[in-house]
Amino acid sequence: MNWLLRALGATAIMAFATVTNAGEISHELGTTTVPDAPKRIVVLEFSFIDALASVGVSPVGIADDKKRDRIIPAYTDIIGTDWVSVGTRKTPSLEVIASLKPDLIIADKKRHSAAYETLSEIAPTIVLDSLAGDYHASVAQMGVIGQAIGKSAEMETRVAAHKATMADYIAKIGPKAANYSAQFGVTNAKGLWLHSPISYNGSLLKMFGFASNMKPKEGGVYEKTYVPTTLEQLSEVNPDILIFGEYVDPSHVDSWANEALYKGLAAVQYGQVFNVTAHNWSRLRGMLAAEMTAKDLLEIMSGLD
């Protein structure tokens, strides 16, 4: 049972994202005073939608990449469909955000740090590390967001339920996962990007007990969260299980089907290459996303000896 104890004992550490006192939130870029129970919230990453939906709060604005169907039914069933698109997550429209007269903006460290001062002039803004953060940081962020929106108790209840759900999945997946290395990556028409062990999905795979064959740089540090990868580089990683999220069909990986290097991969030889929904696995990064990932992994592992 050591694998289960290690997984459940993982400490969620998120630098510069803690609650100080009522109304003040210490986040990745400083401390922000927020109003009590803000009503007009704009979110600039999908994981922040997960947090709001978890406690029944609807945002007025979402960076939905100008594609409303990217907000999955599991969220819209709770938050509705009345939000205003503020553009893409990478470059949201400051003009549209300002027009919504928000009383709280939740932004991403990697995407929006450069715009933090401008966003803060529009409304109180907290910045969290969604894009480059791992699973444990994502769960920790839920508590910070709960405090910021005046829903701490409700969020604590949802987080506790999530942890219980994940513990159940770990108990089912972990014993078999310990026998395999696994690797997740996303692919489009142009290339393949592997998610390293410090990524959201990489840390999830580790929590479930899978080994990673991706090697860190000198000193044990992984330089990148998402690693552009050639077929030659993939053959060096050579995991027992390959999980691909394909944004297009056919994808860049499909073009390797007849290559000797691809056919020689352990996962290919043993029929352990699996396709999952790229959007859910790669873009969402919230508690619900983790639960959907766990469900997919359980189905994958149930089919293996």
Q: Which of 180, 174, 178 is closest to 298 using CA atoms? A: 174
pLDDT of amino acid 21: 40
The domains found in the chain, sorted by start residue, are 2-162 (3.40.50.1980), 179-302 (3.40.50.1980)
pLDDT of amino acid 222: 87
DSSP assignment of 47-84: HHHHHHHHTT---SEE--TT-GGGS-HHHHHHH-S-PE
Series of mean pLDDT values for 10-residue runs along the chain (305 residues) = 39 36 82 94 97 97 97 97 98 98 97 97 97 95 95 97 98 97 98 97 97 86 91 98 97 97 98 97 95 98 90
pLDDT of amino acid 100: 98
pLDDT of amino acid 13: 30
pLDDT of amino acid 305: 76
Half-sphere exposure in the Cβ direction for 157 (13 Å, CA):
7
DSSP assignment of the chain: -HHHHHHHT-----TT-EE-STTEEEETTEEEE--SS-SSEEESSHHHHHHHHHTT---SEE--TT-GGGS-HHHHHHH-S-PEE-B-SSSB-HHHHHHT--SEEEEEHHHHGGGHHHHHHHS-EEEE--SS--HHHHHHHHHHHHHHTT-HHHHHHHHHHHHHHHHHHHHHHHHHHTT-BEEEEEE-SS-EEEEPTTSHHHHHHHHTT-B--PPPBTTTB---SEEE--HHHHHHH--SEEEEEESSSS-TGGGGTT-HHHHTSHHHHTT-EEEE-HIIIIII-SHHHHHHHHHHHHHHHHT--
Q: Which residues of 271-298 are buried (b: 16+ CB within 10 A; e: fewer)?
A: ebbbebebbbbbbbbbbbbbbbbbebbe
pLDDT of amino acid 181: 98
pLDDT of amino acid 242: 98
pLDDT of amino acid 7: 44
